[in-house]
Amino acid sequence: MQNFLNIIILLGTLQGAIMAVLLFRLKIQRQASKLLAWLILLISLACLNIYLLNAVEGTSSFFWNFMEAVFPWVVIMPIGPLVYFYVKSILEPNFVLTKKHRIHFYTVMLDLIPSFVILGYVAGGYLGFINADSTFDLGLFIETYDTYVDIPRWLSLAIYVWFSYQSISDYTKKNTHQVSLRWARHFVLGFMIFAVLWLLHLVLYLIPSSSNLLLGSVGWYPVYIPLIVLLYWLGINGYIISFKTYKKSSKSQEISDATVQQTISKLEQAMKEEKLFLNPSLKLSDVVQQIDIPQKTISFVLNQHIHKSFNEYVNNYRVEAFKSRLLSENDENLTITGIAFECGFNSQATFQRVFKSITNQSPSEFRKAHIKNS
């Protein structure tokens, strides 16, 4: 039976990985698809971890033992925020994750602490700061930490699932597409059921008198088998719902081809001729005022016809302007960062990330390649 359950977990993990890749590559409803992809990917990694622990238990492989100890297989803290923001994304197509939302994901550090401690311990031993006589029991620390870190993990999931439920209640009063609303309800209900099953297992696991009996009889299967069911259900339904919501949204918008072309033309004029992208604090509302087209129409055209978010659309023009300025003889003495700021970027880190995602090169690599080919 244990071998059978391990195979189920492995197959579910592989299916989750495949669906995550498909969702990452999906062009429609890009933000919602990416959030669901990250959610499925993190669940898949946790399931893969439990499979490897069961299937490779007792191995003497140094590589596997090192990877098991150092690599953060179980990253659970972001799952709650991902559930919440995914629900908001499918209910509100114009919803965009911004820098202010990053605070919701800072708790991921709780998942990474064991890896940091192990790496610090290994580095300390190698450098001579920690010797064999040290009273610090690394194994006991990791075991104790792994036992109790599930408490904040469960609380995080429960809190964000509740937030998601409240969001659905709010959107029920609005004119929201029934396809999205129905899927959001089922989605949150699925995580509610899992949270209850996890809580029952967690309570027994934390009671010393029942912990050994629980792990010896059923192990972690009461938690991970439901997770595998979630992986199948989320991946297949999430992928299908993206297309259904897209078709429903397209019909409800009723934007003519002429309006689409007019919007694209005015957007291009605002960027190419009036160079709005040079404004580092440019917002969609600024563009609305400039081209006098409703924000809802602009967002729809960007998402469904140009297949870019507003930030992606603007940053493409900034990158092209940067490339042009970088290759200009007049700017050969300017720094890369200086040119980037003059082209509308307000952060060096953001510029580096955006430039590499668009060109598959860092700015310095791009400059060297141009000099080499000149």
Q: Interhelix angle for 178-206 vs 221-253, to 10°?
A: 170
- Domains defined along the chain, listed by start: 2-253 (1.20.1070), 257-373 (1.10.10.60)
The SS3 call for residue 277 is helix
The percent of residues in the chain predicted with pLDDT above 90, rounded, is 37
Q: Which residue has the higher pLDDT, 125 or 353?
A: 353
| pLDDT for position 104 | 95
* Rounded Cα gap, residues 352 and 310, in angstroms: 18
Residues 6+ apart with CB under 8 A from 313: 267, 302, 306
- pLDDT, one tens digit per residue, over 140-175 is 888 889 889 999 999 999 999 999 999 888 777 665
Residue 333 DSSP label:
T
Closest CA to 52 of 34, 39, 64: 64
Half-sphere exposure (Cβ direction) of 349: Cα atoms closer than 13 Å: 1
| pLDDT for position 32 | 85
pLDDT of 248 higher than 50: yes
* Rounded Cα gap, residues 57 and 53, in angstroms: 5
- pLDDT, one tens digit per residue, over 107-123 is 999 999 988 888 888 78
pLDDT of 187 higher than 90: yes
Which parts of 256-326 fold into alpha helices (H)?
Answer: 257-272, 284-291, 295-301, 310-326
pLDDT of 96 higher than 80: no
Q: Which of 3-12, 245-254, 257-266, 333-342 has the lowest mean pLDDT?
A: 245-254
Report yes or no: 322 and 339 within 8 Å, Cβ to Cβ: yes
Map tokens 């933000």 to a residue.
Answer: 31
For 186, the token pair is 């089922």
For 121, the token pair is 């311990």
- pLDDT, one tens digit per residue, over 325-363 is 887 756 556 788 888 999 999 988 889 989 988 888 888
pLDDT of 188 higher than 90: yes
| pLDDT for position 252 | 47
In this prediction the pTM is 0.66
Neighbours of 360 (CB within 10 A): 9
Residues 6+ apart with CB under 8 A from 4: none
- Number of helices (H), then strands (E), belonging to the chain: the values are 17, 0
- pLDDT, one tens digit per residue, over 6-27 is 899 999 999 999 999 988 887 7
Q: Integer distance in angstroms from the first to the last C-alpha of the chain?
A: 66
Report yes or no: 313 and 354 within 8 Å, Cβ to Cβ: no
Provide the Cα torsion 234, 240, 178, 156; round to 10°. 20
* Rounded Cα gap, residues 268 and 247, in angstroms: 26
| pLDDT for position 297 | 86
